[in-house]
Structure 1
Amino acid sequence: MTTSRNATLEAWMKEHGYSSNSLADAVNSAVGDLTGRVGGLDGSSVRDWKAGRVRWPKSATRVALEKVTGLPATALGFVPRGRAPSSAPAPPPEDPVERRRFLTAGTALAAAAAAPASGSSRRVGTSDVVRLQQRFAEIVASDHRHGGQPVIEQKAVALADEALALQSAGSSTQRVRAFVYACAAAFRSSAMWAAIDGRRYNDAVRHMREAQALAEMAADPAIKFRIWSHAGTLYRHMGRPSEAIAANDVARNVFLTRRDPMFACLGHARQAACYGLAGEATAAQRALDHARDALERADPAVARPAWMTAVSNGAELESLALAAHLSLGNFAQAEAHAHHSLALLHPHMQRDRALNTARLAHAQLGQDEIAPAVATAMSIPPELVARHPRVTATIGDFGHKLRTRAASSPLTHTWDEYAHAHLRNTA
């Protein structure tokens, strides 16, 4: 099999004054910071990267390299396993403070997994599970603020690997072992969601398969529900409504949905969005009615995972109803649900707020309310449009529909000037 040189990495090393040996030393040190054990690379390892003989370094090495360079591995010319080389441009640089925080968040956990035990065997216990769950809560919180950034996806994968490393770090009870597998599945499901949100669908499919296998080993109904529900969303965004409906059916049939109506609410609401994409108006409305009934029956005082926060207060139901009615062309109903969702979303959920505001602009445009639609679209901070691929795509589609519907309107000219001056990749 022929290999192609990694010219991108070579150019980065030349620009920053790294030889093969000095880059190996820097990455080894970063591996030590991450895992508690200095890495074992040498100059020949880096030469293998440059020659293209190693196209995707191992996870700890990859994260360490990203820490040294401040760039995701894909921006350095590396190609994930199973993916063909792409000529697509690299993603925009990520905030360095945010990146450092994520790259160091799991250091204590990794060190705990890798450190030698005192005695013949380290005991993996509930304190390890608590640390994993804390890291998971951080991933969820960052998703709410920043959406599907590659750094979130990468950190979630690294944490999944660290969780699995605990399984071989020492002995544990069957219950703790199941919890650790559940945490690994949860991290993989977050990587999957970040990839979906970033419109990196091939990566999302890969994470989905890993997460599904881990969830089966964990026998955790909540995380199994999350993974299959996300699978439905993945297929919906890929424009494959039949598979989306089938995946959501698996989620809705998890026993947890019969025990806790809040999960049933989310299952029905996501199914409604899939029916909307398929053009099945009656089925979509029926699913929304079931979701609302389940939400009314749910006990808000029951403890649930952090990722269910927007479901508990009805914001997610309104968001999915918005998506369903927008797909069906029911623009007045979509507008009403958009206003409801924006009133219910928590302030830190910046990605969802920007996305639903963009959808509101579509709903207003669909009713020929040109001036309100343009004002709504222009109310989204440009940095949020640029940061979130789904928002970028939705606003780009808005501009296209505006030019089609009202080509001669002065407001269309106003929008085009605004988009040219303030928005990227929305034409």
Structure 2
Amino acid sequence: MNTARNTVLEAWMKEHGHSSNSLADAVNKALERLTGRTGGLDGSSVRDWKAGRVKWPKTATRKALEDVTGLSATALGFVPRGRAPSAPAPPQEDPETMKRRTLVGGIAAAVAAAAAPGTAPPRRIGMNDVDRLQTRFAEIIASDHRQGGRLGLEQRAAALADEALNLQNAGSASQRVRSNLYAAAAAFRSSAMWAAIDGRRYGDAKAHMREAQALAEMSGDQAIKFRIWSHAGTMYRHMGRPADALAANDVARNLHITRRDPLFASLGHARQAATLGLAGDTAAVQRALGYAQDTLGRADRSLARPVWMTAACDGAELETLALAAHLRLGNFGRAEAHAHRSLTLLRPQMQRDRAINTVRLAHAQLAQGAAEAATATAMKVPAITATRHARVSRMLQEFGAALRATAPGSCTVQTWNEHTSAVWRAFRP
């Protein structure tokens, strides 16, 4: 008997930007939360669902899939066992066949009614919906750590912000749930903002910032307000506008959360130090880094905090920002020391930050006259990151220009030129 494709599931996956592999990963994580054991699904499992070869997944898998999507299995196009005829119907339908056909038709009609705007009965939006969004937010943060400011990441984050807002109108909800939905939308929009900053698309970043700020105000969430204003400070710093960067950082540093949680205070002081480095204020940089180190020492690192604060919790973010500040000030020896410490503290999954700090280390070494060591350091940046991440590419171009100015015509310059030519030939976007 021919199997019918599950076009409803295919449509949902396309709408939410899921490949077969990414949906399998999301369901595996949901299974682990439900059962305590990691799921064993892969892309081929999802392809079996789409092709109609598996019409009704196992109970735990169905529940995990429903947690991920927020929809029932039947609303996703799956058909319970026994609902469809198991053999071709005879030419003359008997009463039982007619009953089964009517039942299957009723299921299809129910699915169609759920998809039709304005016809579905209102549902209760709850913390399960918020938890599902938070899982997707963790996926966005993980992608940012790996890839940085790709346009696709920015677009996915913006789409998820819209999805969180759409839930506000999808049914009834408590005030707590509604506040959490606004916070989730603000979080996704802040990630879209950061991806645009990281990709040097500053006009888009400012548009995301304005929407994120409005959503954060409606949520009342202090942590996401801190993230948005801190990102604004970083954006203005990258744009070469230190006065605006300092003003944005001051908004973040004056939020109540920095008085409740020393870790937020530490991050605020460290980001202020990086901006003060751009302004060339050595004494202020030293003072801000001292405050950052002191408050980090008083923070209880065992407390649960937003997933985007991972690097702040282990001190890697403080070292990274100290590196940026001292590099701006021309304190190249101190910058090199902070670079080595940051690379030691950064977790393996933080590939973008590792690439950026590796290039900063190369700049610090070159400025101290160690051209050969600096070139060897710069060549450690993974080729795919060197060619496809806007900030890293620009920083490597600046390194090459500084190397040629420092050691013109040397073997080291020749080595660097050959390396970059080979990388761009192999990984041209």
TM-score after normalising by structure 1:
0.74
Read off the aligned partner of 2:11 and give its amino acid letter. Answer: G
Read off the aligned partner of 1:313 and give its amino acid letter. Answer: D
Show the counterpart of 2:189: 188
Show the counterpart of 1:300: 301
Cα distance change on mapping 1:254 and 1:226 into 2, 3 Å: same
Distance 2:376 2:157 in 1: 37
Whether 1:268 and 2:269 are equivalent positions in the alignment is yes
Task: String of CA shifts for 1:96-132, please: whole Å, max 9, x gaps.
Answer: x9xx9xxx99995475897689985211111111111
Show the counterpart of 1:33: 12
Instruction: Tell me how far 1:404 sits from its aligned partner.
Output: 1.2
Residues 70 and 129 of structure 2 are in contact (CA less than 8 Å); yes or no, is this contact kept in structure 1? no
Distance 2:146 2:250 in 1: 29
Instruction: Tell me how far 1:415 sits from its aligned partner.
Output: 1.1
Residues 142 and 152 of structure 1 are in contact (CA less than 8 Å); yes or no, is this contact kept in structure 2? yes
Show the counterpart of 1:419: 420
**Which aligned pairs between 1:19-58 and structure 2 lie closer than 5 A?**
32-34=11-13
Partner of 2:305, secondary structure, is coil
Read off the aligned partner of 2:12 and give its amino acid letter. Answer: D
Whether 1:247 and 2:251 are equivalent positions in the alignment is no
Cα distance change on mapping 1:179 and 1:347 into 2, 3 Å: same
Read off the aligned partner of 2:297 and give its amino acid letter. Answer: E
Read off the aligned partner of 1:400 and give its amino acid letter. Answer: A
Distance 1:176 1:281 in 2: 46
Residues 269 and 321 of structure 1 are in contact (CA less than 8 Å); yes or no, is this contact kept in structure 2? yes
Show the counterpart of 2:224: 223
Show the counterpart of 1:55: none
Instruction: Tell me how far 1:408 sits from its aligned partner.
Output: 3.1
Show the counterpart of 2:92: none
Instruction: Tell me how far 1:416 sits from its aligned partner.
Output: 1.5
Show the counterpart of 2:312: 311
Structure 2: gaps of 5 or more residues: 1-6, 20-42, 51-64, 76-113
Distance 2:200 2:224 in 1: 22
Distance 1:207 1:185 in 2: 9
**Which aligned pairs between 1:398-417 and structure 2 lie closer than 5 A?**
398-417=399-418
TM-score after normalising by structure 2:
0.74
Read off the aligned partner of 2:264 and give its amino acid letter. Answer: F
Show the counterpart of 2:171: 170
Distance 1:285 1:422 in 2: 39
Read off the aligned partner of 1:219 and give its amino acid letter. Answer: G
Task: String of CA shifts for 1:345-403, please: whole Å, max 9, x gaps.
Answer: 00111111111000000000010111110110112121121121111111110001111
Cα distance change on mapping 1:388 and 1:106 into 2, 3 Å: farther
Task: String of CA shifts for 1:237-275, please: whole Å, max 9, x gaps.
Answer: 111111011000000011000100000111011110100
Cα distance change on mapping 1:30 and 1:327 into 2, 3 Å: farther
Q: RMSD in angstroms over aligned alpha carbons?
A: 2.9
Name the % identity. Answer: 61
Structure 1: gaps of 5 or more residues: 1-27, 36-59, 68-96
Read off the aligned partner of 1:288 and give its amino acid letter. Answer: L
Residues 34 and 107 of structure 1 are in contact (CA less than 8 Å); yes or no, is this contact kept in structure 2? no
Show the counterpart of 1:44: none
When structure 1 is superposed on structure 2, of 376-385 and 230-239 the one drifting more is 376-385
Structure of greater Rg: 2
**Which consecutive segments of 4 or more residues in structure 1 shift more than 2 A?**
28-35, 104-121, 423-426
Instruction: Tell me how far 1:421 sits from its aligned partner.
Output: 2.1
Instruction: Tell me how far 1:200 sits from its aligned partner.
Output: 1.2
**Which aligned pairs between 1:65-76 and structure 2 lie closer than 5 A?**
none
Read off the aligned partner of 2:124 and give its amino acid letter. Answer: R
Show the counterpart of 1:355: 356
Task: String of CA shifts for 1:132-172, please: whole Å, max 9, x gaps.
Answer: 11111111111111111111111111110000000000111
Show the counterpart of 1:158: 159
